[in-house]
Structure 1
Amino acid sequence: MPNTYTQIYIQIVFATKGRDIKIKSEVKEEIEKYICGIFSNKKQKVLAIYANPDHLHIFFSYKNLQITIPELIKTVKIESSNFINDKKLCLGKFSWQEGYGAFSYAKSQKEQVVNYVLNQEKHHAKKSFKQEYLEILTAFEIEFKNEYLFEFYDE
């Protein structure tokens, strides 16, 4: 669309079904690359991605407003689940949990968020996924009900 200019930065967070430890280190990079390809095919630019064993962080520049964020995430979840199952990258059937978190950032925060996403391993050595997610929701002043959060079995 001519004369339409956007600069929107979004971090997406979603979890494996049942918070199962499904994404092993041996397949992590292959899964991340595949998901980046999905974003690229949808004309979005991934700035940072990190597949934890039981959840995923994606920080991207939301450029193509022809696709909504819910449509994009639905596509990413379906296509990546199919890829993981078809390639048998995980033991048993793989799927993502329902829902996701989507958080917007200013351009001035871009480098900080990229570093945050790429340093998930260090971050989770000190803090659980549940603690991290609740802190994000609180920082963004998002009202939530515990029963609608991700399944946090380990806490």
Structure 2
Amino acid sequence: MPQSLVKNYIHIVFSTKYRNDFIDEKIEKELYSYIAVLCKDFESTALQIGGTDNHIHILCRLSQKIALMKLIQEIKAHSSKWIKTKDEKYENFFWQNGYGAFSVGEKDIYTVKNYIKNQRQHHQTQNFKNEMIEILEKHNMEYDEKYLWD
């Protein structure tokens, strides 16, 4: 085949360090817009970004030119530096080291977009730990819970 044809949709989830509540409603829209620009800069168009005070979800179409790990590393590094410039209350902001990333089929894009869009509402009845375990189990991922939260 003389050309590369790639279409990978990825649902990315990561939290603030120690799941501290930093991403308040005052900063979230600007943060999500900034992350969308970062995704675009790495040719990985963001379809939906959302979250709560202590974590975010990103649905993007991963570029064929960049490794997923590199995309997440760049998003975390640049957005962490950026948010610290916004207000003194964000000067101790950090992202947690790890992340979750899950493939999404074309037919599930709409469902995942809505799920991400409604994160604040969703988390009125479920905390992040339970949500993450539910996502891991949905994707049949093996994990050791003692390594999920430290």
Query: Given the two structures, how large is their TM-score scaled by the length of structure 1?
Result: 0.91
- Distance in 1 separating the partners of 2:80 and 2:35: 10
In the alignment, residue 130 of structure 2 is paired with which amino acid?
A: Q
More displaced, 83-92 or 142-151? 83-92
In structure 2, what is the equivalent of residue 131 of structure 1? 130
What is the root-mean-square deviation of aligned Cα atoms in Å?
Answer: 1.3
Q: Distance in 1 between matches of 2:148 and 2:26?
A: 29
Describe the SS at the equivalent of 1:95: coil
- Dislocated runs of 4+, deviation >4 Å: none
Q: How far off is 1:122 after superposition?
A: 1.5
Partner in structure 2 of residue 145 of structure 1: 144
User: Any idea what SS the aligned residue of 2:27 has?
Assistant: helix
The answer to whether 1:111 aligns with 2:123 is: no
| AA of the residue aligned to 2:122 | H
TM-score after normalising by structure 2: 0.94
Q: Provide the rounded CA distance (Å) in 1 between the counterparts of 2:148 and 2:31.
A: 24
Looking at structure 1, the residues matched to 88 and 28 of structure 2 have their Cα atoms a distance apart, in angstroms, of 9
Q: Which runs of 5+ in 2 are unaligned?
A: none
User: Closer, same or farther in 2 for the Cα pair 1:79/1:126, shift >3 Å?
Assistant: same
Task: Label 1:137 to 1:93 Cα distance change in 2 as closer, same or farther (>3 A).
Answer: same
Give, as a single letter, the amino acid of the residue that structure 2 aligns with 1:17.
K
Q: For 1:106 and 1:51, locate their aligned partners in 2 and report how far apart those are by CA, in whole Å.
A: 21
Residue pair 1:57, 1:117 contacting (<8 A) in 2 also: yes
Deviations 1:43-101 (A, max 9, x none): 11101001310000000111x22210000100000000000112337444111001000
Amino acid at match of 2:83: I
The residue type paired with residue 35 of structure 1 is: I
SS of aligned partner of 1:125: coil
Task: Among all aligned residue pairs of Structure 1 and Structure 2, give the percentage whose two residues are the same amino acid.
Answer: 34
The answer to whether the 8 A contact 1:84-1:90 is kept is no
Aligned residues: 149
In 2, Cα distance between the equivalents of 1:142 and 1:45? Answer: 26
